[in-house]
Structure formats: structure tokens, C-alpha cells
A = this chain, B = another copy of it.
Amino acid sequence: MSEKDMKETYEGAGVSPQDQADNPVDRILRQERMPHIWCPGCGIGTTVNCFARALEKLNIDLDNLAVVSGIGCTGRVAGYLKVDSFHTTHGRAIPFATGLKLANPKMKVVVYSGDGDLTAIGGNHLIHAARRNLDITVILVNNFTYGMTGGQYAPTTPFGSIQTTMPYGMYEHQFNIPKLVAAAGAVYVARWTVYQVAHLTRAMTEAIAKKGFSLVEVMSPCPTLYLRRNRLGEGIDEVKRFKEWAVRKDGADVNDVGISRDKPLIIGKFVDIERDEYIDLMNRQLSKKLGDRYTLYGVENGEV
């Protein structure tokens, strides 16, 4: 569907001309690929909505934005965004992004992927990227499951939840993702749910603006494969539940933000610290050692 066609499909409650609807999402979407594949009530689309608005707020040149996804339902995000966007392999969005950013430091690089992709198969890249503190942002959509493959348990599946490979209820411990990435070295870590769209948007804005490795964990309903199997209703039920379940605690100790369906879901901005960024460190050390023989890398007109 072309951008124009897409605009024209709007039914503006009788309003004309319809193409005046200046929807920021439409501008960043690959309209020709709509509608997307996500299920009714899946929260991933909502996160994209927030992402579009965050970009709008940041007012950055979208030509210099790259979005990289792994594989999964969330992994399809890259494919719907009209920026340089890369659908990579399962778990490897972060090292791809690392190469991209390092090879062309002027790019803003955002990794957008799922909990399974980023913390199961991709866990090593996650912690190493956090350690290096290269300036990239990770949007991690946590839906408690491997959506794309049909609802197997993930390192995030809450205790007791049924999943196809945990048919009698989850008995493995879960990752506390903010704690893990903070321990590895992330400089910005926040968690929101798709219920707090405005906060989520702001968190995305902050994370992208932050220099260094930043991560936003977004709790998002997967009605098809997580909620229904656990008799938790439809997407909207979880969204409404998020409202009750979530308790905002900015600056909460990451030790306290592990998720359990019986305890409040702590949300907010947990980490926002300063720590030398990767390319800065590299430039500093190499200049120190090589002096004039070294030209600062990735620096245009004195600015990185």
C-alpha cells in the first residue's frame, strides 16, 4: 500500500481533506507493507507507535537512523520502518548493530527485538554490548514468551506459566533483565509497559539521546500464545492489568525489579549514569599512544 493509498484509507469521521492527518507513525512506516502480521491485541504495534512518536520528539534526521532486529514477532519491527532497517538472524541484532555503528558512527542505531531473541540466544551479545558501552539503544519487547515460534518458554516466562515446552508450568528462574544489563554496564535502563504510552515514548527518547548503551524493556501482551494459554484473557486485559500491576519507582534498585505475577511490576527509569562511551575511549587511548599518527575516528567537524 503506498503512502498515499494508506492516507486515503483513513475514514476521517467525515473530515476532509483526509491526507492532512499528520500521523507521525504513517511517516515512518513502510506503508506498502501494511497491514502487519501481528495478531489482534498484540502489543508490539503499540510500541512501534510510541517509537514513531519518540523519533518525532527527538527531531533527528531519519536518514541517519538505522533499526536492527533479530528474529521473532518483535523482530519484524525493522521491516515495517521506513529507515535503513535490517532483519538479521536470531539473537544477533546487537553484534550487527555494533558493526554498523562502529563502521559509520554518525548513525543512530537502535536494536528492536524480543525478549527471547535478546536474552536467550542473544544474551551474550547483550551483556558484551552493555560492557563495551558503544552508543546504541536496545528496545526489548518482553512478552514473556517466544511468540514467533508458537509460545515456548523464555528466560522471562513467569513461574507457573504454561508454555508449549513447559506444559506443566514454568519452573525455571527468570532473568531480571534490568539488573543483568546494569551489571554488565548499561548506562540507561528503563522498564515500562504498553499501558504507559507517554512514559514509554519519553523513555525511548531518552534512551536514544543517551550516549552509550541504553535499554528500554517494554512489557507487552502476547494474547495468542502467552495470555490465552494461561487464561489471562485478551491483549486489552493485560493492558488493563498492567495499569494495576505496575508500580512506578524511578531509580528503583535493580535488585528489586525481578518480575513475578504475584508481586507488583516495578516500572520506571532504573539506571541513568555516566560512563565513558566506546568510541570516545578508543579515540582517547589511541591518541594518547599514537599522538599525531592517529586521527580521531568517527569525528566530523570536531563532533562525534
Contacts and interface: CB of A to CB of B under 8 A. Distances in A.
- Interface bracket on A: 35 or more
A290 B168 contact: yes
A288 B175 CA distance: 23
Contact of A180 (B127, B174, B275, B278): B127
Contacts of A133: 173
A232 interface: no
A284 interface: yes
A182 interface: yes
Interface in A249-284: 254, 275-276, 278, 281-282, 284
A290 B166 CA distance: 13
Contact of A132 (B124, B127, B173, B278): B173
Contacts of A131: 155, 172-175
Given A182-B183, A183-B179, A183-B183, A171 B128 contact: no
A289 interface: yes
Interface in A32-47: none
A275 B159 CA distance: 14
Interface in A120-137: 120-124, 127-128, 131-133
Contacts of A127: 123-124, 127, 175, 180
A86 to B, nearest CB: 22
A138 to B, nearest CB: 16
A169 B285 contact: yes
Interface of A: 120-124, 127-128, 131-133, 155, 160, 168-176, 179-180, 182-185, 254, 275-276, 278, 281-282, 284-286, 288-290
Given A168-B286, A171-B285, A173-B185, 9 more contacts: A121-B124, A122-B124, A123-B123, A160-B285, A168-B285, A171-B286, A175-B184, A179-B183, A180-B180
Closest 4 CB pairs of A and B: A183-B183, A124-B124, A171-B285, A168-B289
